[in-house]
């Protein structure tokens, strides 16, 4: 088949999306945890970045071969932005230094505020998609946080008495707002410092976080108690990634284990999905792999997070190869290694232009259903990128009917050739080492209005819409 024929064939497959969206409305209950916060969105241009570099006396040497992965002083914020800008990658760096936070508050500003944190973003999206009851964890729920929740009757938080209440109506007066900076940049933007041009190869974002509650994994006792006594269908889990070893992060990961075990013991049919997220602290990353991954049924991650896991699991050669050539065959090699080594039931990777899931043959959702779930996620996430927000139900299907991109078909074709399975290009499903691989080409938006929460949306919708 040529590209046009392949696009037509996949357009036919994508016709399953409306029926999968309807299936989401039959899911009884979903909980999301642990991190909910407020995102301050800032679109930064190359010329502004250059001005900040000059004003803060950052040298060209500081901007080359950047090895930092966190903040110790205000200038590190700018260096982190440059790292992601110049490589077209997404990372989240965290700090427990109030001076760094105050510098960002004074010097960066923001374009607008919106819901932040995996738990909050996913809760808004799934409630909008019609899941009957969505319960989200908040360790801080002042009025400003409440205003970031959609005004929907099926979206709940926990009030001061530990009772379910419509999330937008909760105001815990003594709580403080938790604000993260989401700094976005555009493909093709550039700036020059001391004769060297820094060019952005891919639209992406850098997250700068100061969050004393989520950085200590403070858990809402009402939320814990609710899941101890109420059965739900799915738990979508994240929020371990901001933890720091220097702040007791490894012990905080360990402390979450009995909480999850109790929920699973009470509700044996509970399906738990873990979003790896950008975990910069290597000790915490190792702890997540050691203590949390064995307790979950499904894991989601992107290209960068895949490389990060490989680096702590003795696979630096493969990690370096992917760093130099981020392509579907190498990422699948990584996915297969992670699946076998960590013995996950299901693992999904979302890369630019391609989603792929490797799962056990007896996983609760079949590979065929998972394929439909991923296509549904591709429509919802690209619609969010196209529209900028998901505020009303019509927003989730803005890109329905658009063709999958040529770049995404290239990635799927490269993967099918590497696996010597041409049918993967046409059908999106094949068997590899007793596991089932599902892979789809995606819809790409040329000039996305937002990239925040894309991975979270992809992972959660893929899993739930694959029911």
Question: What is the C-alpha separation between 352 and 344, in angstroms, rounded?
Answer: 23
Which residues make Cβ contacts (< 8 Å) with residue 421, sequence separation at least 6?
A: 430
In angstroms, the CA 336 to CA 90 distance is: 23
74 touches 99 (CB < 8 A) = yes
Considering only CA atoms, which of 425, 419, 375 is closest in space to residue 401? 375
**For residue 177, what is the DSSP state?**
P
Question: DSSP letters of 49-89?
Answer: HHHHHHHTT--HHHHSS----S-SSHHHHHHHHHHHHHHT-
Q: Model confidence over 296-313: pLDDT tens digits?
A: 999 999 999 999 999 999
| Confidence band of 70 (pLDDT split at 50, 70, 90) | confident
Determine contact, residues 345/373, Cβ cutoff 8 Å. Answer: no
Say if residue 336's pLDDT is above 90: yes
209 pLDDT above the threshold of 90: no
223-279: per-residue pLDDT in tens? Answer: 999 999 999 999 999 999 989 899 899 999 999 999 999 999 999 999 999 999 989
- Edge-to-edge strands, sheet with 30-33: 164-166, 155-158, 134-136, 30-33, 234-237, 271-275, 298-302, 346-351, 354-360, 435-441, 429-432
Q: In this structure, are strands 429-432 and 435-441 parallel, antiparallel, or unpaired?
A: antiparallel
Structure tokens of 293? Answer: 């991954």
Could you identify the residue written with the tokens 């041009």? 197
- Note the pLDDT tens digit of each residue in 388-447: 888 999 999 999 999 999 999 999 999 999 999 999 999 999 999 999 999 999 999 988
pTM of the model: 0.87
- Give the residue ranges of DSSP H helices in 348-388: 367-387
Residues near 264 by beta carbon (within 8 Å), at least 6 away in sequence: 270, 272, 295
If you write DSSP's letter for every residue of 398-439 in order, what string do you get? Answer: TTTTPPPPHHHHHHHHHHHHHTT-THHHHHSEEEETTEEEEE
Kindly report the CATH number that applies to the domain delimited by 1-27+298-467. 3.40.1190.20
Domains 1-27+298-467 and 40-113+177-209 share a fold: no
* Check whether domain 40-113+177-209 has CATH 3.90.1300.10, yes or no: no
Among the listed residues 256, 340, 343, 346, the one whose alpha carbon sits nearest the alpha carbon of residue 301: 346
Instruction: Show me where the domains of the chain are located.
Output: 1-27+298-467, 40-113+177-209
Cα–Cα distance, 281 to 72 (Å, whole number): 14
pLDDT digits (tens, 9 = 90+) for 85-126: 999 998 888 887 888 988 998 999 889 899 999 999 999 999
């Amino acid at each position: 088949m040529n590209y046009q024929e392949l696009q037509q064939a996949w357009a036919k497959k994508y016709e399953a999306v409306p029926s999968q969206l309807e299936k989401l409305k039959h899911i009884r209950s979903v909980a999301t945890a642990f991190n909910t916060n407020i995102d301050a969105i800032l679109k930064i241009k190359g010329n502004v970045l250059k001005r900040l570099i000059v004003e803060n006396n950052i040298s060209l040497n500081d901007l080359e071969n950047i090895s930092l992965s966190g903040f110790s002083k205000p200038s590190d914020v700018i260096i982190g932005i440059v790292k992601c800008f110049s490589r077209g990658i997404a990372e989240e760096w965290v700090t427990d230094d109030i001076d760094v936070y105050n510098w960002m508050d004074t010097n960066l500003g923001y374009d607008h505020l919106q819901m932040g944190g995996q738990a909050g973003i996913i809760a808004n999206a799934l409630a909008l998609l019609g899941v009957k009851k969505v319960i989200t964890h908040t360790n801080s729920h002042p009025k400003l946080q409440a205003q970031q929740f959609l005004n929907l009757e099926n979206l709940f938080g926990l009030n001061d008495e530990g009772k379910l209440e419509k999330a937008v109506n909760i105001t815990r007066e003594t709580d403080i707002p938790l604000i993260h900076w989401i700094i976005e940049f555009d493909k093709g933007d550039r700036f020059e410092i001391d004769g060297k041009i820094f060019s952005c190869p891919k639209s992406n974002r850098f997250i700068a976080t100061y969050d004393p509650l989520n950085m200590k994994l403070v858990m809402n006792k009402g939320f814990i108690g609710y899941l101890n006594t109420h059965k739900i269908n799915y738990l979508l889990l994240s929020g371990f990634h901001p933890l720091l070893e220097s702040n007791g992060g490894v012990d905080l990961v360990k402390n979450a284990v009995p909480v999850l075990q109790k929920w699973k013991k009470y509700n044996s049919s509970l399906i738990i999905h873990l979003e790896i997220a950008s975990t910069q602290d290597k000790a915490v990353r190792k702890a997540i792999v050691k203590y949390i991954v064995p307790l979950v049924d499904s894991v989601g991650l992107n290209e960068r997070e895949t490389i990060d896991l490989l680096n702590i699991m003795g696979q630096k050669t493969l990690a370096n190869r992917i760093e130099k050539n981020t392509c579907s065959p190498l990422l699948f090699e990584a996915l297969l290694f992670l699946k076998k080594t960590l013995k996950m039931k299901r693992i999904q990777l979302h890369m630019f232009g391609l989603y792929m899931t490797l799962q056990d043959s007896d996983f609760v959702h079949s590979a065929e259903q998972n394929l439909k779930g991923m296509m549904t996620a591709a429509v919802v996430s690209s619609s969010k990128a196209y529209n900028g927000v998901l505020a009303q139900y019509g927003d989730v299907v803005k890109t329905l009917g658009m063709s999958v991109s040529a770049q995404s078909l290239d990635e799927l074709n490269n993967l099918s050739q590497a696996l010597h399975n041409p049918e993967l290009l046409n059908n999106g499903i094949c068997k590899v080492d007793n596991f089932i691989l599902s892979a789809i080409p995606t819809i790409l938006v040329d000039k996305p209005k937002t990239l925040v929460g894309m991975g979270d949306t992809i992972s959660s919708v893929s899993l739930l819409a694959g029911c």
